[in-house]
Amino acid sequence: MRRLRSILAICGAAILAVAQPVAAQHAAIDPQAWIAYKTKFLDASGRIIDNGNGNISHSEGQGYGLLLAYLANSPADFEQIWYFTRTELLLRDDGLAAWKWDPAVTPHITDTNNASDGDLLIAYALALAGSAWNKKDYLQAAATMAKALLSRVVIDAGGRTLLIPGVDGYRAPGRKDGPIINPSYWIYEAIPVMALLAPSDRWQKLTDDGVGLLRSMQFGPRKLPADWVSLRARPEPADGFEAEFGYNAIRIPLYLVRAGIDDKVLLTRLQQGMTVEGDEPGTIDLATGKPKQVLADSGYRIVNDVVACVVSGTKLPTSVRQFAPSLYYPSTLQLLGLAFVAEKHPECL
Q: Per-residue pLDDT tens for 224-273?
A: 999 999 999 999 999 999 999 999 999 999 999 999 999 999 999 999 99
Residue 1 banded pLDDT, cuts 50, 70, 90: very low
203 — pLDDT class (breaks 50, 70, 90)? very high
| The pLDDT value given to residue 14 | 73
**In this structure, are strands 160-163 and 180-181 parallel, antiparallel, or unpaired?**
unpaired
Among 164, 139, 140, which residue's Cα sits nearest to residue 151? 164
Integer Cα distance of 305 and 318 in angstroms: 11
pLDDT in tens, 148-189: 999 999 999 999 999 999 999 999 999 999 999 999 999 999
> How does residue 279 score in pLDDT terms, banded at 50, 70 and 90?
confident
pLDDT at 136: 96
Cα 180 to Cα 192: distance, rounded to the nearest angstrom: 23
Q: Residue 240: which of 287, 289, 178 has the closest Cα?
A: 178
Tell me the C-alpha distance between 230 and 155, whole Å.
14
**How many whole angstroms separate alpha carbon 107 and alpha carbon 112?**
11
pLDDT at 5 over 70: no
- Is the pLDDT assigned to residue 24 strictly greater than 50? no
Reply yes or no on whether the pLDDT at 22 is more than 50: no
Active site residues: 60, 117
Give residue-wise pLDDT tens across range 49-78: 999 999 999 999 999 999 999 999 999 999
The Cα angle at residue 256 between residues 96 and 340, in degrees rounded to 5? 95
Half-sphere exposure of 293 (CA within 13 A, CB side): 10
**Cα 15-99-147 angle, rounded to 5 deg:** 35
What does the mean pLDDT of the chain come to?
94
Q: Above pLDDT 70, what percent of the chain? A: 93
- Closest of 292, 266, 268, 296 to residue 281, by C-alpha: 296
Q: How many angstroms separate the CA atoms of 294 and 345, rounded?
A: 27
129 pLDDT above the threshold of 90: yes
pLDDT at 266: 98
